[in-house]
Amino acid sequence: MILEVLQFPDPRLRETAQPIAESEVDDALRELAQNMLETMYDEPGIGLAATQVGVARRLIVMDVHWSEDGERNPLVLLNPEIVERAGKSVSRDEGCLSVPDFTADVIRAERVVARARTLDWKEVEIDASQLESFCLQHEIDHLDGKLFIDRISKLKRDLYVRRRKKQLRLEARERSSASLY
Ligand SMILES: [Zn+2]
């Protein structure tokens, strides 16, 4: 099932997601993870955090190497945390399914080591660099209520926020005039 992805400035994107206990891994959670993957491939994107679909729990899905011709390497991570960071690099043209019509360069750690649980409650450690590392940092930020626009200059962020608000006003106006007929 395709889920609705919350859009900035929805306040639910600012919530801190709560950890998941082993006893909570049930069919409903597995289905949520499956639906999140489906939604991510459909959008299309390379990562999605539960926060973005209105569920404030520490769950992310990722696939940084999937292709339109059917290659899939889905990753479902519960309670992911970064335990090591190294180097600095620029994540070029980073975007977010919750931040429409905007990309920016973001300075992030070049390499991270993340620890997480799988749906089978196995502990996994992921040593990631470049795109996979940027994606992990981006998704884990979502679980802490952070967006990539919090990591760019205030000037660029303000310009985007103003443009986004204007766009939302226009959309609201279109909706209200359409209902007159
Ligand atoms: Zn995002």
How is residue 164 written in tokens?
A: 């986004």
User: Six-digit token pair at 77?
Assistant: 């991570």
- Which pLDDT band holds residue 52 (cuts at 50, 70, 90)? very high
pLDDT surpassing 70 at residue 180: no
Q: How far is the CA of 143 from the centre of ligand 1 (A)?
A: 10
Which residue carries 């609201």 as its tokens? 172
Q: Is 8 left (phi over 0), alpha (psi -120 to 50) or beta?
A: beta
Distance 180 CA to ligand 1 centre (A): 36
pLDDT tens digits, one per residue of 118-170: 999 999 999 999 999 999 999 999 999 999 999 999 999 999 999 999 999 99
Q: For the purposes of burial, counting CB atoms within 10 Å of the CB of 16, is it exposed (0-12), middle (13-18) or buried (19 or more)?
A: exposed
